[in-house]
Structure 1
Amino acid sequence: MKAVGRVAIVAVSLGTVLTAMLAWSGLPQNAAATATAPVWTEMAWPFPSDPFGKGKAFRCKVADCGAEVNIYLRAKIGFCNCTTGVADDDDVDRMGDLVLVGDASPLGGSRPIKIAWMDGRSRAYALNARNPLGKTAISVVFRERCDMITATAVVGHDRPTAIEPSVIEFLNGSTVMRWAEITLGL
């Protein structure tokens, strides 16, 4: 019983300290309550058909992601190197779907990522200044054996690394994983 009382006192004290720090910071006291998690809504595939076919498209609105973010997702069956997978920047550039969104320049090197059980890489790009789709993009390429999935996230601001964790989290979610299992025949 005494331990429960001590825990309660510590919890109340910690809450008081955090409230005081928030008030001192000048942020609204309900900032934590108003923060929203990304909400991804499926939309129609906006691109013409090509040899890889249509994919899935999802949108996160400004209110939920801080800028409009559109993810274009599709499988490329038998297109991945069965031995090395997505090994480096050249693989991300070559295997990704940036061709869908136009001229893009890398903002740095790629980095390894994991989507569920699949390994891959992610890389950020600046889009051509006249691109009506967005300012930056993130190309995420991951694979299951010799098949790969490519996700292109087009971001309405110039800080793609700020939204990348939300994109990776969405790709790891049940919506994409169910689609991946069906599409890849797992």
Structure 2
Amino acid sequence: MRRWPIIAAMFLALGCLSAVAGYEMAPSRAAAWREIAWPFPRDGWPAGRAFRCGTAECGTEVEVYLRPKLGFCNCDSGVADDDEVDRVSDVDMISPRFVPLNAGDVVDVADMSGRIRAYDLDGTRTAIGLAASHRCDLMAVAAQGRGDVARVRQAVLTFLQSREMKTWMTAAVEGR
């Protein structure tokens, strides 16, 4: 009779350990994304990193381009308004003709605050521009996809909140 509580406690402990191991070993949110070559010509900033997610994994095909711009941000106010997002987020590299769809929103990624804004590129593609600051440094993010703006935006934000991307963005703006 005294063995049942011990056996039940052991099964409970084993179940908890299995759940923790399953959580730790589960594929990350970034697993659906594949790194691709930086598609843009050289400019005054170093090339960044580019990623693609297919329709099956993200609900729509999306490409994300991100790079740090060290020493580029206003040290006092960070990314202050939508005009700054338009100017620094690199959406103009995707297409020089981008039209904002609405006012941007405040966003936090990788412990950096900034703004995110959606754009129409040519009536068939959506772009997302995001600029986030860390001290005097900036993380510029541009993305493009076909389909619903909300779906593209959510795919981008989910990707940027992945552990791998948070770690890389933090290290990149700190110059490591």
| Band of TM-score, shorter chain | 0.7 to 0.9
Query: Aligned residue for 1:136?
Result: 126
| 2:88 aligned with 1:95 | yes
Q: Where do residues 15-164 of structure 1 align in structure 2 (5 Å cutoff)?
A: 39-102=32-95, 103-129=97-123, 135-157=125-147, 159-164=148-153
SS in 2 for 1:51: coil
Count of residue pairs brought into register by the alignment: 146
Supply the distance in 2 between the matched residues of 1:89 and 1:164 (Cα, whole angstroms): 16
Contact 1:43/1:58 (<8 A) preserved: yes
SS in 2 for 1:93: helix
| 2:169 aligned with 1:180 | yes
**Structure-1-length-normalised TM-score:** 0.73
- Structure 1 runs (4+) deviating above 3 angstroms are none
1:98 Cα deviation from its structure 2 partner = 1.1
Supply the distance in 1 between the matched residues of 2:170 and 2:117 (Cα, whole angstroms): 24
Supply the distance in 2 between the matched residues of 1:73 and 1:37 (Cα, whole angstroms): 14
Contact 2:110/2:170 (<8 A) preserved: no
Query: Aligned residue for 1:24?
Result: none
1:179 Cα deviation from its structure 2 partner = 1.9
Contact 2:51/2:65 (<8 A) preserved: yes
List runs of 5+ in structure 1 lacking aligned partners. Answer: 1-35
Query: Aligned residue for 2:154?
Result: 165
Amino acid at match of 1:160: V
SS in 2 for 1:75: strand
1:128 Cα deviation from its structure 2 partner = 2.3
SS in 2 for 1:180: helix
Supply the distance in 2 between the matched residues of 1:69 and 1:100 (Cα, whole angstroms): 16
- Provide the alpha-carbon RMSD of the alignment: 1.9
1:37 Cα deviation from its structure 2 partner = 9.0
CA separation of 1:152 and 1:79: change in aligned 2, threshold 3 A: same
